[in-house]
Amino acid sequence: MSKNKVQFQAGYSLIELFQNYGTEKQCTQALFKWRWPMGFKCSECGCDKYCFLKTRRLYQCNKCHHQTSIISGTIFEQTKLPLTTWFLAIYLVTQSKTGLSALALKREIGVSYNTAWGMKHKIMQVMKERDDSKPLSGVIQLDDVYWGGERHGGKRGRGSKNKVPFVAAVSLNEDGHPIAMNMNVVKGFRLTEISRWAKHHLQPESTIISDGLACFSAVSDADCYHVSIVTGGGFQSVTKKEFAWVNTMIGNVKNAITGTYHAINPKHLPRYLAEFCYRHNRRFQLDDMLPRFGYIAVRTPPMPGRLLKLAEAYG
């Protein structure tokens, strides 16, 4: 697929954003529709009858009297910001071609840096949860990468200290073009780790193409076929066509993260990788990115600030 197809697609303009989600009422209605597409349903007893307590803006179940706000139990829980600010932030982060730093977001939407950082990471968390729930299928190129490691020329980064290991996987269509990808931080390139990763991120019966690194044979634990191609390592290995796409994506993600953020805290690398993959996986869907995102956001559990700042679990 050509670059032009990405650049000249219909897209979604700021004008449309303001027309559709320019008021609190519109944003609340959108969240309601995404959260309860079949109509209100009480999270405690399943009852579908409720009354809206206008002054406190709460939905009260008619049967068990449980009260819930439109944002409780979602990634937006406890926010004090207007929903319109959230929708604008989501728009900017999901539509930007190369990513938007917390600092840039702060300037665009007029909040403090800490607030912008929290919003940005919550948005990235939604992206991560979404793609983590969609295993790759078909023919998949797989490679091992170190964040901060030397990739080209001489010694590969394998085994280096102070570097964050992650796996990069790209699924291809019959023409050999990339369909979807995911990149997940792992504890190391060991059989048990790759086995755990594969069961979570690969559909059974997929065909996995990797180089000769021993741990990749563990994809068979996820009922996948494994084709190992011995490359001999070094710069020449990345030019082999069996690995062309995964190597292109690894180069792209490193450039994108370094270009947009300059430096990131490696403990948050999983979310930055997820953001890159999410955007790439939806590069032909710019026009309905926002409702798709919103549908997942109201199903993503709350993430208080202290949790956001912890090192993340391995994907």
Residues 144-183 that bind Zn ion (CB under 5 A): none
Nearest approach, Cβ of 59 to Zn ion (angstroms)?
A: 10
The residue range among 53-61, 67-75, 186-194, 295-303 that interacts with Zn ion, by the rule CB under 5 A, is 53-61
The smaller minimum CB distance to Zn ion, of residues 1 and 45, is found at: 45
The count of residues interacting with Zn ion (CB under 5 A) is 8
Nearest approach, Cβ of 36 to Zn ion (angstroms)?
A: 13
Of 220, 160, 229, nearest to 191 by C-alpha is 220
- Annotate the chain with DSSP letters as a single string: --HHHHHTS----HHHHHHHHSSHHHHHHHHHHHH-TTS---TTT----EEEETTTTEEEETTT--EE-SSTTSTTTT--S-HHHHHHHHHHHHH-SS---HHHHHHHHT--HHHHHHHHHHHHHHHHHHHHTS-B-SEEEEEEEEET---SSSS--TT-TT-EEEEEEEEE-TTS-EEEEEEEE-S-S-HHHHHHHHHHHB-TT-EEEE-S-GGGGGGGGGT-EEEE----SSGGGGGSGGGHHHHHHHHHHHHHHHHHHSS--GGGHHHHHHHHHHHHHTTT-GGGHHHHHHHHHTTSPP--HHHHHSPPPP-
Is 186 one of the binding residues for Zn ion (CB under 5 A)?
A: no
Is 64 one of the binding residues for Zn ion (CB under 5 A)?
A: yes
Binding-site member from 17, 27, 61, 111 for Zn ion (CB under 5 A): 61
Residues 28-47 that bind Zn ion (CB under 5 A): 42, 44-45, 47
The smaller minimum CB distance to Zn ion, of residues 40 and 314, is found at: 40
Nearest approach, Cβ of 67 to Zn ion (angstroms)?
A: 9
Is 50 one of the binding residues for Zn ion (CB under 5 A)?
A: no
The residue range among 51-59, 63-71, 222-230, 285-293 that interacts with Zn ion, by the rule CB under 5 A, is 63-71
The residue range among 65-73, 97-105, 139-147, 259-267 that interacts with Zn ion, by the rule CB under 5 A, is 65-73
Nearest approach, Cβ of 152 to Zn ion (angstroms)?
A: 59
Binding-site member from 41, 66, 199, 200 for Zn ion (CB under 5 A): 66
The residue range among 56-64, 104-112, 128-136, 159-167 that interacts with Zn ion, by the rule CB under 5 A, is 56-64
The residue range among 27-35, 62-70, 207-215, 296-304 that interacts with Zn ion, by the rule CB under 5 A, is 62-70
Nearest approach, Cβ of 8 to Zn ion (angstroms)?
A: 49
The tokens describing 45, both together, are 């007893």
Question: Which positions lie near Zn ion, rule CB under 5 A?
Answer: 42, 44-45, 47, 61, 63-64, 66
